[in-house]
Structure 1
């Protein structure tokens, strides 16, 4: 498949990222629960959840800008920039997902070694909303992983770069009986 044949799937992925990231952001940013006995918990009390909200905002904004700019022909010469930005977005989503997942794991199971009890039995709605937000975040991450692959394919195909060894290396390997 030629790089130009990936325009529609690439655009579909970029369009999907925006509502996924915004829904994840909204679900987490509105996440708070109060309990008469144990007090109140809100997303901003936990830095990993705040980080997830920030990364969702950044990646949704980048996806929206990339959609709006995708119709510009001069942008095609910036394929490397798009590749780097897609990969950076995927990496940011991975790190924020892992931070939020760790917090959810601790909230669900606790950690007896440091006397940290589970809290989801007291703040079930909070944990439920955090889980939904993390699932939406993971879907946005999957889109950006696919976008990074599409961007890499486009850059490699337009620059003529291949993943095959150079001709002289193939000849040497063939002479030595290692290349078929």
Structure 2
């Protein structure tokens, strides 16, 4: 029985550590995105507000940092309520939002480096190199934060589904139907 208690404590430490890692990663993505801008004499100013995907990133980074902070604090509060289902649902939602955001930022990075000839967009990184360099860093940091939430969603799913009995065996189901 002591082994089960040690596993629960290990999971709790891993869970809290990942949530604590997500907070600075999300704040760094938020700050880098909000301060990412570059002027060009020919083409003008490029900043995060020009690209909807980066606005989405700002929102998701704020949500993930705030949720991770609230979750790490509430995970150590005893008898607040049964938090397993709440963490499970919230971890899943945030992980899916972060997947969508990674896809959105990945598309932006692809377009600024390669352009899109079908709609006559040229690549932008030859004119906005510093902006593109920071965009790469933002993508990497956000992807690491996503990986943390992916593992958190697995941990919260494990916690929720280990509390329930397995479904009826197929033989028992067959006996009930006949």
On whether the aligned pair clears a TM of 0.5, the verdict is: yes
The CA deviation at 1:108 is 0.4
Counterparts of 2:44 and 2:130 in 1: how far apart (Å)? Answer: 14
The CA deviation at 1:17 is 0.5
- Calculate the TM-score normalised by the size of structure 1: 0.88
Kept after mapping to 2: 8 A contact 1:10/1:150: yes
Structure-1 residue corresponding to 2:26: 21
Q: 1:128 aligns with which of 117, 126, 133?
A: 133
Counterparts of 1:170 and 1:153 in 2: how far apart (Å)? Answer: 26
Counterparts of 1:76 and 1:64 in 2: how far apart (Å)? Answer: 18
Counterparts of 2:85 and 2:102 in 1: how far apart (Å)? Answer: 26
Question: Once structures 1 and 2 are overlaid, which stretch shifts more, 144-153 or 95-104?
Answer: 95-104
Tell me the matched-pair count. 169
| 1:170–1:18 Cα change, 3 Å | farther
Q: 2:145 aligns with which of 137, 140, 144?
A: 140
Kept after mapping to 2: 8 A contact 1:3/1:153: no
- Taking only aligned residues, the RMSD between alpha carbons, in angstroms, comes to 1.7
The CA deviation at 1:76 is 5.3
Kept after mapping to 2: 8 A contact 1:86/1:147: yes
| 1:172–1:84 Cα change, 3 Å | closer
| 1:11–1:172 Cα change, 3 Å | same
Aligned: 1:53 with 2:55? no
